[in-house]
Amino acid sequence: MAASKPAPQRQPRTLMEAHQALVCIRPDRDAQLEVWQAYYHRSAVLYAEIAEIDRGHHHEALYWAERELEKAMLVTGAMKEGATSWNPWTESAFFPQ
């Protein structure tokens, strides 16, 4: 994980705070697949919690929770296929040659 990003000071209470908090803990691009998998799972849980707290953004937060869970599943599948790294911008895995 990137050490240069400050950690959030308190638990997010709004969707925007959740976005900001997750940016702070986002792994480096070259992080191991297990780190990306854990990040996406943590993101999905946080967004699901926010959906219940920030009721004005309930459905949007649920969308983000589902999106992050899908990314975690993509990483899991890539790991099972022998991928060695993950590109979060293209959401694709790199496989050993």
Q: Residues 45-78, buried b or exposed e (16+ Cβ, 10 A)?
A: ebbbbbbebbeebeeebeebbeebbebbebbbeb
Determine the angle formed by the axes of helices 15-25 and 33-53, rounding to 10 degrees. 160
Cα(36)–Cα(65) distance, rounded to whole angstroms?
15
**1 pLDDT higher than 50:** no
Domain ranges of the chain: 15-94
Tens digit of pLDDT for each residue in 29-85? Answer: 889 999 999 999 999 999 999 999 999 999 999 999 999 999 999 999 999 999 988
pTM for this prediction: 0.83
